[in-house]
Amino acid sequence: MALEIYKRGQGKYTRSITFVGGVLIAALIGRFVWQQVVPVSDSLWLIYGVPVAVFVGGGVLMFWIVNRPRSADFMIATEGEMKKVSWSSKKEVIGGTKVVIATTLLLAVLLWAVDLAFSLFFQKINVLEASN
């Protein structure tokens, strides 16, 4: 059957999130179509039927994509690899963020000082006019 789940239970989270993301995109496209059709048509079929068809079609397409053997095997393997990743702790992330912010601020101050020194030097040798 065309709408059966390939390797049920494997890659559940990756496939579910991919499916929900695809359906969300289909819903946004359906909303866009609805916004385009409302001003130009009085037909209820066009105003509501076409956007719903786009949404349902997008959902069926996403179901088919996440259950195709090639893409499903890829998502299953991706979820397996993500389980092997060594994730940083909250303390390590906060510490690393502090180091990055401090380094950025230090470099900004150093670049400002170098810029000021060059500016004063070029003013002394009359290459730049002094600004008010």
Higher pLDDT, 67 or 108: 108
- What does the pLDDT look like over 15-36, one tens digit per residue? 888 899 999 999 999 999 989 8
Predicted TM-score (pTM) of this structure: 0.59
* pLDDT value at 10 more than 60: yes
- What does the pLDDT look like over 85-127, one tens digit per residue? 888 999 999 999 999 999 999 999 999 999 999 999 998 898 8
Helical pair 50-67 and 69-84, crossing angle rounded to 10 deg: 70
State how far the alpha carbon of 11 is from the alpha carbons of 16, 83, 127, in Å: 8, 11, 66
